[in-house]
């Protein structure tokens, strides 16, 4: 009886996947799409973090390599992701009764252009923004690397979901 309980879910999942009803890889890439090009994400923000452009570009490329079977091309892929860092801002978010910032927020905004050369109806140009808060008693220099890594992770997930997960 235990074998039947274990065997039945495996058979059902296999049937669902074989019929194309459900995808287990969390992406919805058309079967005729085989390649992707992720171009350098330029930094056009007024305040420039010198490593952000490379960090974001590499993180995007890694995400597509890890979570899809698409071949990465330098140029002319079936899918093309390009864009630029539009802003890199630190703003106060919480003010004390003495009108001093208690917390600051680092926000990064990226403008992304997605081009699907096989299915142009999926093309878009969209802004993505993410932020992390930090205590105002700590300098940005002290926490910037960690905050940028956390923000890049959020941005990469959002961009990936918008391009190939259709969320």
Residues 1-40: tens digit of each pLDDT: 545 454 545 544 554 444 443 343 456 788 999 999 999 9
**Predicted TM-score (pTM) of this structure:** 0.81
Residues 35-70: tens digit of each pLDDT: 999 999 999 999 999 999 999 999 999 999 999 999
Dist. CA 108–CA 41, nearest whole Å: 13
Element (H, E) at 55: helix 52-67
For the chain, what are the domain ranges? 29-165
Q: How many CB atoms lie within 10 A of CB 40?
A: 13
Residue 36: name the closest of 110, 122, 111 by CA.
122
Task: Evaluate if residue 75 carries a pLDDT over 80.
Answer: yes
Dist. CA 106–CA 113, nearest whole Å: 23
| Mean pLDDT of the residues in the chain | 86
Q: Which CATH class is domain 29-165?
A: alpha beta
């Amino acid at each position: 009886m235990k074998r039947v309980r274990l065997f039945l879910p495996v058979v059902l999942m296999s049937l669902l996947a074989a019929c194309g009803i459900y995808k287990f890889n969390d992406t919805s890439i058309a079967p005729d799409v085989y390649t992707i090009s992720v171009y350098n994400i330029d930094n056009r923000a007024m305040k420039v973090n010198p490593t952000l452009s490379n960090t974001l570009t590499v993180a995007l490329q890694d995400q597509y390599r890890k979570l899809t079977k698409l071949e990465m091309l330098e140029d002319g892929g079936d899918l093309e992701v390009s864009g630029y860092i539009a802003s890199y801002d630190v703003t106060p978010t919480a003010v004390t009764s003495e009108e001093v910032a208690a917390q600051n927020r680092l926000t990064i905004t990226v403008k992304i252009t997605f081009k699907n050369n096989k299915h142009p109806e999926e093309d878009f140009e969209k802004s993505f923004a993410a932020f992390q808060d930090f205590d105002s008693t700590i300098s940005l220099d002290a926490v910037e690397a960690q905050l940028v890594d956390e923000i890049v992770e959020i941005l990469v997930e959002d961009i990936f979901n918008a391009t190939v997960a259709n969320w």
